[in-house]
Amino acid sequence: MFGFSLTKLVVLIVVVAAVLVLFRFIGQRTAVRPAAQANPKVKSEDNSKAFDTEYDAESDTFVVRGGKNQDK
């Protein structure tokens, strides 16, 4: 029952492959698509909250480049 056989290994490989394919399928179905792909009539806007940063050796941290506050 607990020994290895070719049939058991093939079944194990098929089950693992089926689970991976299922997770990929679910991941593609639930992925967030940009507004331009979901509805081509809607103009997508860049609403990212990314900051352009640079390394400050004096404080040993990264600071916002240009010093402007982009949160407002």
pLDDT digits (tens, 9 = 90+) for 1-44: 678 899 999 999 999 999 999 999 998 888 766 554 555 555 55
Q: Is residue 58 part of a domain?
A: no
Q: Is residue 11 part of a domain?
A: yes
Q: Is residue 19 part of a domain?
A: yes
Q: Is residue 53 part of a domain?
A: no
Give the count of domains, the chain.
1
Determine the residue type at 8. Answer: K
Q: Is residue 51 part of a domain?
A: no
Whole-prediction pTM value? Answer: 0.42
Q: Is residue 54 part of a domain?
A: no
Q: Is residue 69 part of a domain?
A: no
Q: Is residue 2 part of a domain?
A: yes
- pLDDT at residue 22 in the model: 95
Place 66 in a pLDDT band, splitting at 50, 70 and 90: confident
CB 35 within 8 A of CB 42: yes
- pLDDT at residue 52 in the model: 82
Q: Print the domain residue range for 4.
A: 1-42
Query: What's the rounded Cα separation, in Å, for the pair 72 and 64?
Result: 14
